[in-house]
Each structure stands twice: as structure tokens, then as C-alpha cells.
Chain A
């Protein structure tokens, strides 16, 4: 009797109902079940990148280093920043979150389409794909972070207590990248126009974000408007945490950026969830 009841219970537990428009109650549980897939897809993308190269994983270090050197050289000339901090460190501190965002946004945007065969042939929560793309960019970000640390040691620059708040800003950067990435990935499935919009956003965004300059050169009355770019808050936050000293945060703008990032992430998840059921039909 007891055994019988237990069987029924476990059967009920496993029963799956497929219906039109049914909001998947198992979704988050499924996502947990497939948690290793995040890792595997990210692992695949990183592994594949350095296959058939002679120096292999050394590229993982050299690639961001070269990018950073180029940008640092370019922006060192443009940057109008206080000079008590070494210039490369100043620029690098802003480039770090920007590069992360730009890469994550680009890769997440293209991720669903480049995995279209998987989407049309296997079930798993689709959220795994763009998230893995963001994770890959995050790994690059961490490696670049090591380079920044090396740079700081080289210049003998010691950050103050604010450095411990850095994880918070990293988290915000991650959320911004996820939010924007989810939106663009889902839109790209149906409207391939976004394929052409992504590089444009990334190129323009670099100049619209305070990477090559400090956001306090923006006139006071425009600062709030300027903060509508969510990366402004993120980049300012990074500078504030890493450089310490006399760098200031423009709090209203930062809070606005923070609000926008949250909005981007929440709506991104909602839109993705809403459209993902039809991915296999339209991709």
C-alpha cells in the first residue's frame, strides 16, 4: 500500500504537461538540471577558440593584452584625467568593463543563431546559450583583470579600501551584459537586422561611454541624461573602486544607470522567456 502510494507520487512528480502557452513551471528546475551545460558550452567556446594554434592558451592572455595596449595607447592621448594616477591604469580601469560588455553583447547576440542546429533538434532551456556566451566573455574579463593587476604592480599603484566594492560593480556589469545580450539574442532570432545593429552599437558605445574621458567633463546639466547609458554608471563605478583617491561618483546618475540595468535585465529575461518557445520555428 505504502509502496503503491510512493510510486504514484514519484510518477506525479515526473509528469510533464505540454500545452500551448503554458508557462513552464519546470523551467527553473530544468535550468538547474542543465546547470552543467552552462559550463560545457562556455568550455567549448573557449576550447575551440585556441584549437589548431601553436601557442594555444597563451592567446587567452595575449589577445586581451594586445587589445588593451592598443586602446590604452589610443585613449592615453585623449583621456583628460587627473594625473596622480598612471595613465594606462586610468584607461585600463574603464576599458575592462567596457570590453567585457562589448564582447558579451556581441557574442550573446549571435549565440542563438550560431547554435541553431541545437535549438531545432534538442530541448534544453534556451537561456543556457546566451548565458554561456556571457560567461565566456567573463572569463576574458577575468584574464584582462589579471593584466590590470600586473599593470598596477608595475606602476607601483596601490588601490585603497574601495577596491573591495569592485565585485559589486562587476555584478552590475554582468547584469548589464546579460540584459542587453538576452534582448539582442532573442530579437536576432526573428529579425536578422540586429546582426547589423550589434557592431554599430558596440563601436558607437565606445565613444558614448566614458572610456576615453572622464564623465565629469560632461556638463552638470547633462549628466543625468548622459547616465541613461547604463555603462556610464558601471564604468564610473569601476574607476571609483579601482582608482580610489579623488575619483568621484555622480550618485543620481549612478542610481539611474543601476535602475536601467535592472530594467534591462528583467525585461530581457521576460522577453527571452516569452519568445524562446518559438525559436525552433523561426530560427
Chain B
């Protein structure tokens, strides 16, 4: 069968360096660079200017090829900077590839951001029309879908209120509702489900399932492995702009997880990990040490042990009353444990220029033997994220010999401590 999307040797190059320090080249720079280059060539015609310029090139995508069949639901995964968003941008025609080609046979609708083009001053009703038009719907089409959109977004009462007065939940619901009612043959979605509350996320997932069940093709980027697994039948794994694996969802996800869910006990530098938040302070490193009940260090985390998690925070401005939290996730992205200073009624003050250390001791960890990732967060709860790292480090729980003596592998998720008694009458 003819693929609905066919990507051949696609590459995309960005020139960095210039853009890093100064996102917009000024005319003066361009002129002075031009003069310098010409002068340089005149003065030393044999110097290797090429090598110098190459160091500023960055291949966001390098020579990737794959096919997508009609009706496929393809999840795209990879670490930050792997080229996922660049790929979606090329497929959505927002940016042009440097080389290679893509053949698409069908109407594409892409949703790279929820609420693109929403204007805060306009009312909900006005924004539905505006946003619909930006996404390529005709006025008649929007009119036809209007009730469905309002229904889905649950904003009926606020239709004539400017969206700047909306709660962030309402805003996101309305924005997603407009996009979800596009009728494309191919739907491209970038991490849009990361917003909104759980209930709404479920609703969005339901809508996406509905779309995919109707035989439409979906391309989806998400950091949430569970979303990927529940929505896609195939997964494309990217790393450093190349396709590492493309195939059945579960299989590729496993490869992805194995690639970085290694045992990383001890000190881990996380300065170059993916951060989000305002950045007034930043997590610098994390240290993991399993200890036994008496506080003695043990080489590996075992069922029932304590785990010491020590984090260093670098501060760029004085911050008062913030909460520091660590979260343990399983390999599906479920939050299993959340420990934070607020639960203990405590808050942290950070002073500019000082290194602050926060140490948590998680006691009596009885998670089943598996790999777990650790996420870090600090900020003011329900107000602002100062810094967050979703994948700070990971560790592997090991079963004690006695726990798996009779049943292996461990069947549950939590190795509850239990007593038992057998009586006979």
C-alpha cells in the first residue's frame, strides 16, 4: 500500500552560535561579518575558514527516512533535542528541510501548541472563529462545528467573556476543542496533552482515540510514555537527529527506556539535563545512596531499605518560602512517591549565590524490583515552577533474596510487609 507519509533522507540544519547569544542578527553584525570574511580571505587566502564555520552548524535532523501508512498512530519519542519537534515542524510546513524530501497524501492539521493565535482580549466566541481560521477552517465549517466545540470545552456560560478572564483550565479546554474538531486526514500533535487537569486529559485522550479509530493517521510527540503507549501502535525513537528504532510501540519504548534507565547510584550532575521553570534557582546535582535501617550504606537498593536523596541547588536570586519536592516515577510515568518539604510544614529559603543542599530520606521503600526515575521540582505550589527536572536520575530496586525465593518475578507493585497465620479447625 502507498504510504500516506513518506520521509526520505530528511535533514535539517540550524546555525547556532549567533542565535545563542543574540537571537536576532543585527544588520551591523551581518555587515561587519561580511567585511571580516572578505578581509580575512584577502589577507590570508589559504586559511581554513570552512572548519571555523562548521562548528556553528547543528543538525537537528540528519538523514532520516521512514514511512507511515494510513491509519497508523505513530508516537515519536526521544530525549530533548532529539529532533522530535523539528520533525513535526517540517511535516507541518512551518519550517523547510535543509535536504531530503517528504511526500504527504492527505490534509494535515497540526497542533503544536494549544491556543496558537488566541487573543486574550477577545471573547471565547470570537476566539473560536479566529483560531479556527488560523488552523485552516472556513467560516462555514466553524459555524457548523461551533456547538460541538463549545460543548466539548464546557465554556457555554463564558462564551462572551474575554479569554483573559478564563481560568487556565478553561482556556486550554477551549483551545483544544477547536483543534480537536478539525477534520484532517493526518493529525500532528505535539505534547499538548501535558496541560489541563487529569479529567480533561482523559477527555482529550478519548477524543484522540475517537479520531484514530475513524481511520485517521496520527503523529504524536509526548514525554509521557503512558500516553504514547495508549495512543499509538507504532513508535519512532529519535536520538540526536537520527532514527534509532521504528516499530511496534511496546518494543521501541523498551529500547528507549533501557537507553537511560540505567543504575545511576551516587552523584549525578544534572546541569545539562532538561529543566523547566523560571530558572531563578537551579538543581545542580543529585546524590542517591541506599542505606539500611540502621543508616549504614548498602551497595544496592533492596526491598525495605531507606534511600537517601541529596540535592544541591544553585541560587541566582533570593527566594523565600519555597517548596522542594522529589517524585519517583515508574517506567510508565506514573507518579509513585512524592516527598516534599511542604508536607512536613517546612519551607526553604534560598539566598543568592549560595549552594543549598536538601536531603530527603525515604524510608522503608518497598517498590517491586524494577527501574524508577527521579524527578525534582521546586517552586511555590500552584503558583510557579522555579526549576524542575523530570528525569534527574534513576535507580533500580532489587529484591531481597528472601522476597523472591518462592515467587519470581515479583508479582505486585508494592512489597507490603505482612504477617500471616495459619489455623485449622
Contacts and interface: CB of A to CB of B under 8 A. Distances in A.
Interface of A: 11, 14-21, 33-34, 36-37, 40-41, 43-44, 47-48, 51-52, 115, 117-124, 190-193, 277-278, 280-282
Given A11-B105, A18-B90, A20-B97, A51 B110 contact: no
Contacts of B95: 277-278, 280-281
Contact of A36 (B28, B90, B113, B139): B139
Nearest to A277: B96
Q: What 7 pairs between A and B have smallest CB-CB spacing?
A: A40-B133, A18-B102, A123-B93, A191-B27, A121-B116, A19-B101, A51-B121
Contact of B134 (A21, A43, A122): A122
B117 A122 contact: yes
Contacts of A191: 24-27, 30
Nearest to A187: B27
Given A122-B116, A191-B26, A51 B162 contact: yes
Contacts of B30: 191
Contacts of A121: 94, 112-113, 116
Contacts of B130: 40-41, 43-44
Contacts of A15: 103-105
A121 B103 CA distance: 21
13 contacts: A14-B106, A16-B104, A17-B103, A18-B102, A21-B96, A40-B129, A40-B130, A41-B133, A43-B130, A115-B117, A117-B116, A122-B116, A191-B26
A47 B123 CA distance: 10
Contacts, number: 116
A163 to B, nearest CB: 35
Contacts of B94: 119-123, 280
Given A44-B122, A281-B14, A193 B101 contact: no
Contacts of B117: 115, 117-118, 122
Interface string B1-43: 0100000000000100001000011111010000000000000
Interface in B86-130: 89-108, 110, 112-113, 116-117, 119, 121-122, 126, 129-130
B138 interface: yes
B17 to A, nearest CB: 14
Contacts of A18: 90-91, 93, 96-97, 101-104
Nearest to A49: B121
A110 to B, nearest CB: 14
Contacts of B106: 14
A17 B27 CA distance: 34
Interface size class of B (residues with CB under 8 A): 35 or more
Contacts of B99: 20
Nearest to A10: B105
B135 interface: yes
Nearest to A37: B133
Nearest to B138: A36
A16 B119 CA distance: 31
A278 B13 CA distance: 12
B100 A20 contact: yes
Given A19-B101, A44-B122, A118-B117, 16 more contacts: A14-B105, A16-B103, A20-B96, A36-B139, A41-B130, A43-B130, A44-B130, A118-B116, A118-B134, A122-B94, A122-B112, A123-B94, A191-B27, A192-B24, A193-B27, A281-B95
A202 B73 CA distance: 53
B134 A37 contact: yes
Most buried by B among A11, A18, A281: A18
Contacts of A44: 119, 122, 126, 130
Given A17-B101, A44-B122, A51-B122, A122 B138 contact: no
Given A18-B97, A20-B100, A123-B94, A48 B122 contact: yes
A52 B89 CA distance: 36
A282 B29 CA distance: 15
A84 B16 CA distance: 64
B188 to A, nearest CB: 10
Contacts of B28: 193
B81 interface: no
Contact of B136 (A11, A19, A21, A124): A124
Contacts of A117: 113, 116-117
A48 B136 contact: no
A83 B101 CA distance: 67
B110 A122 contact: yes
B264 to A, nearest CB: 35
A20 B26 CA distance: 25
A118 B110 CA distance: 12
Contacts of B126: 44, 47
Given A17-B101, A20-B98, A123-B94, A33 B24 contact: no
Most buried by B among A33, A44, A123, A278: A123
A282 B24 contact: yes
Contacts of A21: 96
A123 to B, nearest CB: 4
Most buried by B among A47, A122, A124, A282: A122
A46 B117 CA distance: 15
B110 A123 contact: yes
